[in-house]
Structure 1
Amino acid sequence: MKTSRMLVKRSVRSLSAMALFIIVSLGTSIGASADDADAKRLLKAMSDYLVAQQAISFEYDATLEAITKDGQKLALASSGTLLLNRPDKIRATRSSGFADIEMTFDGKTLTLLGKNLNIYAQQDVPGTVDNLVDELRNHNRPLPAADLLLIDPYEVLMQDVVDVKDLGSGVIGGVECDYLAFRAKEVDWQIWIAQGERPYPCRYVITSKFMKGDPQYSIQIRDWKAGAEVAATDFSFKNPTDARKVNLKNVADELPEHFKIGEAQ
């Protein structure tokens, strides 16, 4: 046991030394060579590509960090799918250890299906996907990667940005990507964009600076499809399982009891 503890301590020291080396390197080399204009150009190219796609679909893995009262950082993991047909149709799923939600929107009606409880709720939300994103945020139910689905992602992402870095390239899920980092007033965010003719987002990470512990939300995208690659889909709600209709607030999509805000875990 003593030997194991010594190995752990040495590993922690090694990681700390590595982190210090990375911090020093960022401060001396990358910061000096960062090309703001090139980073903005790459982000704008991604935005233009996304907006030009009539249909988009992908699978994703997401992590939402929560900070306990005693400062421990915990990660809530989920996976799902998303299918978008511009300008006003979307279907998204999200599965985690405490919720299994499917959301459909046909340009007129939003439907949330709680598969684990076999219940559903509906609300009239006429308009585009941009309008739906705003409505869901008002109900504290944000879409995964919502900023990337809007009609002008570049304008939204660049709001209040005060610092831009082009950090070269990285590999996400076997895909070589351009790696960009941005700082805004309330958040830092990073994005990895696939290189080549299809500059789609491979990973998107947001760090909150106004919350203690700087929690992050990250989403990693896989199985990207666009245009003719996306299968035709019916976006109307069919209720194949005879789910019971309830009020919107009763469709569970919140933290479980042992993660309730304000409790030390």
Structure 2
Amino acid sequence: MVKLSCKHCLTANWRSSVALALAVTLISPLAARAEEPDARKLVKAMSDYLSAQKAISFAYDTNFEIVTTEHQKLLLASSGKVEMGRPDKLRVTRTGGFADVEMTFDGKTATVLGKHLNLYTQADLPGTIDHLVDEMRDKLHRPVPGADLLLPNVYDELMRDVVDIKDLGSGVIGGVECDHLAFRTKELDWQLWIAQGEKPYPCRYVITATQVDLGPQYSIQISDWKTGTDVVAEDYSFKNTTDAKKVELEKLVDIDELPDRFAKGDSK
């Protein structure tokens, strides 16, 4: 007979409790059913509030899950800051375990600086922030963190293809009470926590890839939310203060949340 130490007993009891809680969650109906019109109103109010802001800044933390070929989930974490001046100014920083990156946009030129490499690349992308987001994603394959929340038509972008909506009541994110909503499309599940009150900004945004093996998630949590005169106006043009070397985009390796050393496999 094998005896468990107190530490192992606690671990076993904790696992049993979690398993029981998950089982109850899976078989029990939700106490509060979805009220789709009210949920849509909350998202629309958030969208209207965001689009009305001429200047926004916030800090963020992301968690990016990946699934190995051995069916092990790994979590890559990073933090950063977003500063935005509508319609065409943006600065985004992101620091993680593999990269330290800054992207600036002055309305004409987008610059991506790999601080850990002291290398940068530039692309002429004149236009608005929403044009920049599309170009960074589709042509440069460098998506902007939380891009869905930066566009002027947030409601239309988020609600496109939604087939199911649930209002899960309240939740607290970083000490801020939020309305917690869950949505489903044919390919993705996503959840949104929106701050209650006069400033309905997004506090947390979670996307679950339901069509990928084990359903990995990507989440972004927002803090230190500022708008209007609370955002210090800055020059959004690139300043090469470290004498970084300019290179072509393909030479700027290991700057994404998923490092190049992780080989991508097939989805299942």
Q: Which runs of 5+ in 1 are unaligned?
A: none
Matched, 1:68 2:68: yes
The amino acid across from 1:48 in the alignment is D
Partner residue in 2 for 1:48: 48
Shift of residue 10 of structure 1? 2.1
The amino acid across from 1:92 in the alignment is V
Partner residue in 2 for 1:39: 39
Partner residue in 1 for 2:187: 186
Shift of residue 9 of structure 1? 2.2
Partner residue in 1 for 2:31: 29
Shift of residue 126 of structure 1? 1.0
Shift of residue 225 of structure 1? 0.2
Matched, 1:17 2:20: yes
Partner residue in 2 for 1:136: 136
Which secondary structure does the structure 2 equivalent of 1:29 belong to? coil
Give CA-to-partner distance per residue, 1:185-229, whole Å, 9 cap, x none.
Answer: 110000000000000000000001111111100000000001111
- The answer to which structure has the higher helix fraction is 1
Aligned-pair RMSD on alpha carbons?
Answer: 1.5
Partner residue in 2 for 1:149: 150
1:211-250 equivalences under 5 Å are 211-250=212-251
The amino acid across from 1:151 in the alignment is P
Which secondary structure does the structure 2 equivalent of 1:18 belong to? helix
* Pair 73,201 (structure 1): closer, same or farther in 2 beyond 3 Å: same
Q: Measure, in 2, the Cα distance between the counterparts of 1:98 and 1:28.
A: 40
The amino acid across from 2:22 in the alignment is A
Shift of residue 28 of structure 1? 4.2
Partner residue in 1 for 2:175: 174
Paired residues, number: 260
Q: Measure, in 1, the Cα distance between the counterparts of 2:101 and 2:260.
A: 18
Give CA-to-partner distance per residue, 1:216-258, whole Å, 9 cap, x none.
Answer: 0000000000111100110111101111000112223133465
Give CA-to-partner distance per residue, 1:167-187, whole Å, 9 cap, x none.
Answer: 100000000000000001110
Which secondary structure does the structure 1 equivalent of 2:107 belong to? coil
Shift of residue 47 of structure 1? 0.3
Q: Measure, in 1, the Cα distance between the counterparts of 2:260 and 2:75.
A: 15
The amino acid across from 1:130 in the alignment is D
Which secondary structure does the structure 2 equivalent of 1:197 belong to? coil
1:1-12 equivalences under 5 Å are 2-3=4-5, 4-12=7-15
Partner residue in 1 for 2:122: 122
The amino acid across from 2:263 in the alignment is K
Shift of residue 262 of structure 1? 4.2
* Pair 256,143 (structure 1): closer, same or farther in 2 beyond 3 Å: closer
Which secondary structure does the structure 2 equivalent of 1:120 belong to? strand
% same residue: 58
Shift of residue 85 of structure 1? 0.7
Shift of residue 48 of structure 1? 0.2
Q: Measure, in 2, the Cα distance between the counterparts of 1:56 and 1:152.
A: 16
Matched, 1:260 2:248: no
Q: Measure, in 1, the Cα distance between the counterparts of 2:263 and 2:97.
A: 15
TM-score (norm 2): 0.93
Q: Measure, in 2, the Cα distance between the counterparts of 1:142 and 1:258.
A: 19
Matched, 1:106 2:109: no
Q: Which runs of 5+ in 2 are unaligned?
A: none
4+ aligned runs moved over 4 Å, structure 1: none
